[in-house]
Each structure stands twice: as C-alpha cells, then as structure tokens.
Structure 1
C-alpha cells in the first residue's frame, strides 16, 4: 500500500497528513486516498465513509476552495466531509489550531460530573473531597494536557474557575480564600499541575 504522504494508524483509525501548495499536491493526495480504498477493498476492510472527514488548516483560498477529496464506493463516489474541529483520541483539534473548544468541552464535562457528585454526597470532608475530586473530576480537566496546555488567560481562568468552585464543597473551608483552601486540601492550581506535566513530558 504505497502512499506519498504521512500516514498515521491507531487501532481502527487512519489519518493522512499532507501539505497542499498546488494542483499536483491535490492530485497526489487523491492518489493516496485511492490507494487506501483499493487496499481496504482487497483485504475486505471497507472504510466507514460517514466518518471519513477532511480538515484544512490553512488561510489560503486555493487550498480551502479546491481541496475536496473523494472516495470511490461500489455505488459511486463519496465526498469526504469537511470539518472545522474533530475529537481525536480524546482531544478536540480545531482548524485554527486553538484549544478553546477543547477547553470548553472539558469544562462542560467536569461540571456535569461535579453536579452528579453534589447530588450524591451531602457532606464533604477534606478527605472525601480529595478522593472524589482526584478520581472522578480532575482527570476530565487534565487529560492530554501536555498537548493542549493553554497559553491564553481566558482558557486558563476558565479551567481554574471550575476547581475554585469545586473546593467550596468542603463545608469547613467555605470561608477561606482559594489559595488557603488549596493548601488545606493539599492540592495545587490546575495551571501549576499543567506546567509540572509539561516538565515531566519533556524529561
């Protein structure tokens, strides 16, 4: 299955990554797609066409307007769906290469879990909070963080706001400021944990 461009495979997913500068590049990508479709048919592993999507990371009108790859099917051809953002291995990648959508989804999921925990537990000691928070809540705010660690203050504050509100669940700490609540619980800010994760990843 020879292809001209970078091909990434993971489990049942495949990604073709290419740089488009001219019509020849577009044709080369289409040739690679044709090769992949032929290979899948030969091995009786047909693609799920409805999940085949194209993301264009570019501001050039030539790329945006002219790149529209197709896949052959037994009953004709299928134009891949153009998408502005896509969830890949739990991380939402957007065409503008910004992480605001991923952060928004992570916060929404964490808030949903927090609401469920609030309805389930009526009394929160420091020990109870630490166990429940680190097990069921915080992972939603940190999954894949070395990939998307935000640099804009807006996303940093949005994430921190969730933890700030969560720490108020501990009845004995409600009247303390955020920094003191963190110290008494024995945890740090999410921003500090992301920087720590970056250092670990780099090491």
Structure 2
C-alpha cells in the first residue's frame, strides 16, 4: 500500500521509514501541543479511511527539552504512554540526548559477538580474526559514532575495552591490549 499521502496536511515533521513513522515538533506552547494532537487526529483519520490501524501499544511520546510541558497525547480515546528513551533505526535516544545507553548497548552486542567468535573459532591468527572482527564486531562499535561523537570519556573507554579484548584474542596483537598512560 502506498502511504505517500500520509503526511498530507500535517503541521509537524513526519518521518517515514519502512513501517516506522515518527511525528515531531517543538512543543513549548499550548498551540504547539494542539498542533501535534491535530496531526495525530489527522493520521488516525487517514488510517480509518485506508482501512488500517496503528499499533497503539507501540506508539510512545518522547518529551525532549527542559521547557517541555509534557502534554499527554492520544490516538482516538487512548492516551499514549510516555517514554524516557526510544530506539529509532537502531539509535537509542533518551530525553537528555545522552548516548551512554547507546554505547552500553553496542558494547554489550559487540562483546557477545566476540564471545561467539572466541568459542567457535579455533585459530587465533591475525589473518583469521581480523576479518571476523572487522565484519562482525567493529560495525557495532562504530554504530552512530557520527551522531554521538565521543561525548563522554566513560563511553569511549567502554568501547575501547571491547577493542582491547579483541586484540587479546589475536595472536600477534596481544601487546596492543596493554593500556598506555600518557
């Protein structure tokens, strides 16, 4: 089904990707909150007209900013729950725009993959391990790096620990796992 007309008449920004839709705008006045609610009503009417339903259980409100009035929004009669963090296209965004949760999640995934490699690959040769690391682990460590940009030292150190663990696993690179002071 084509959804090109989904955002027709909306006042807010509506981003569409596959089956995910995000509606957003600054909500610092009652008029702005009313505009968001109006767009939600418009989207609900579009869904009815096209014999579709929104999964209201997956619809959440992420209130951003210090001056956000934290207005409660609804789809039809159902109030939408609010959230302190939401994942969008594999990026975890919280109300403070801190990337610490995202870094912890990526480090956990990368460490899990390293564990699988360690258990299932007998060879520790650099020629074997480096391509596995580059293809399976490194993309998780680099996920969204342009967005979060090494905001906090603790986040950077968390990701570096995963890299040191990977270096320890490779014959010939064990010396890189020693922390340097400087």
Q: TM-score, normalised by structure 2?
A: 0.88
Deviations, residues 108-132 of structure 1 (Å, cap 9, x unaligned): 0001111111110132101011111
- Tell me the residue number matched to 1:182: none
Distance 1:161 1:144 in 2: 18
Give the alignment of 1:147-166 within 5 angstroms: 147-166=147-166
Give the alignment of 1:3-22 within 5 angstroms: 3-22=10-29
- Tell me the residue number matched to 1:143: 143
Match of 2:74 among 67, 70, 74: 70
Structure 1 residue runs without a partner (length 5+): 180-203
Distance 1:177 1:43 in 2: 59
**Shift of residue 171, structure 1, vs aligned partner:** 3.1
- Tell me the residue number matched to 1:200: none
Distance 1:173 1:162 in 2: 14
The secondary structure found in structure 2 opposite 1:9 is strand
CA RMSD of the aligned region, Å? 1.5
Match of 1:31 among 34, 38, 46: 38
Distance 2:90 2:125 in 1: 32
Q: TM-score, normalised by structure 1?
A: 0.79
Structure 2 residue runs without a partner (length 5+): 1-7
Give the total of aligned pairs.
171
Distance 2:29 2:12 in 1: 15
